[in-house]
Amino acid sequence: MSGWLVIAGLGPGDPRMITPEVTAALNEATDIVGYIPYVRRIAPRAGLVLHESDNRVELDRARHALAMAAAGRRVTVVSSGDPGVFAMASAVFEALETGPQAWRDLDIRVLPGVTAMLAAAARAGAPLGHDFCVINLSDNLKPWDLIARRLRLAVEADFAIALYNPRSKARPEGFARTLDILRECCEPGRVLVFARAVSTPDEELTVVSLSDARPEMADMRTVVLVGSSATRVIRRGGAPIVYTPRSVLA
């Protein structure tokens, strides 16, 4: 019996966005490890042990998963979206690097998934259709000054910007400061998409100009997409379409 560790992305919520290779890893696992709401997305079955843990204990969770795999279990660590984008893959490798040497011989695989910004962009049209950047607004793990600096440089580079974790109860003011920085650097008509809980029953999509954006439009379940200066809105009967053209003229 030889154990393995898979770090798998469950996509944004809709089970029809889970890739077949992730489904197979869930079916072959003896143990599922993850943050409570993600583990609750897995159907229980005989012989499968579900290990739920709370937010902000990612390193402990990673060590637990590695130790079980080293003991011969078949362990799937689940993340929402893609495990490599602000999710469990980095935490597992941090734990691996600082853990017992034997862990480095483990069979470890990362299985990609549809990360939140791609699902959000698809619902809105194609706002990330040209060069873009991706910034986690949570300042739990990095100083606010670095976030502010990256936002200013991203606008200077004229990237579209995907903002993860814009706002939480513990950090109600960070997203207001983000909007202040965007207002300093961008024209008032810059297009923003607030994409909440995409592909779940709670999905909400709001397209606004920067001048109409308000901090309370975002919460923990929202990804915010900020257009580049070239991003366009097509008005029509239904929801507007937001897209960034492929070309920039010289």
User: Interface residues for a second copy in 112-131 (CB under 8 A)?
Assistant: 112-115, 118-119, 121-123, 125-131
Q: Which of residues 219-238 bind a second copy (CB under 8 A)?
A: 232, 234, 236-237
Buried b (16+ CB within 10 A) or exposed e, 58-83: beebbbbbbbbbbeebbbbbbbbbbb
Q: Output 104 or 214, the one with its CB closest to a second copy.
A: 104
Q: Which of residues 128-167 bind a second copy (CB under 8 A)?
A: 128-136, 141-143, 145-146, 149-150, 153-154, 156-159
Task: For residue 9, give the nearest of 122, 93, 109, 106 by alpha carbon.
Answer: 109
Q: Output 47 or 238, the one with its CB closest to a second copy.
A: 238
Nearest approach, Cβ of 145 to a second copy (angstroms)? 8
Q: Output 111 or 186, the one with its CB closest to a second copy.
A: 111
Nearest approach, Cβ of 147 to a second copy (angstroms)? 8
29 belongs to the binding site for a second copy (CB under 8 A)? no
* Region of 26-34, 100-108, 168-176, 205-213 interacting with a second copy (CB under 8 A): 100-108
Beta-carbon-side half-sphere exposure of residue 69 (alpha carbons within 13 Å): 27
Q: Which of residues 33-92 bind a second copy (CB under 8 A)?
A: 58, 82-87, 89-92
Q: How distant is the alpha carbon of residue 47 from its chain centre?
A: 30
- Pick one of 42, 70, 96, 148: the residue that binds a second copy (CB under 8 A): 96
16 belongs to the binding site for a second copy (CB under 8 A)? yes
- Pick one of 43, 46, 97, 169: the residue that binds a second copy (CB under 8 A): 97
Task: Tell me, by CB under 8 A, how many residues bind a second copy.
Answer: 78
Q: For residue 182, what are the CA distances in angstroms to 147, 176, 222, 226, 236? A: 12, 10, 18, 9, 27
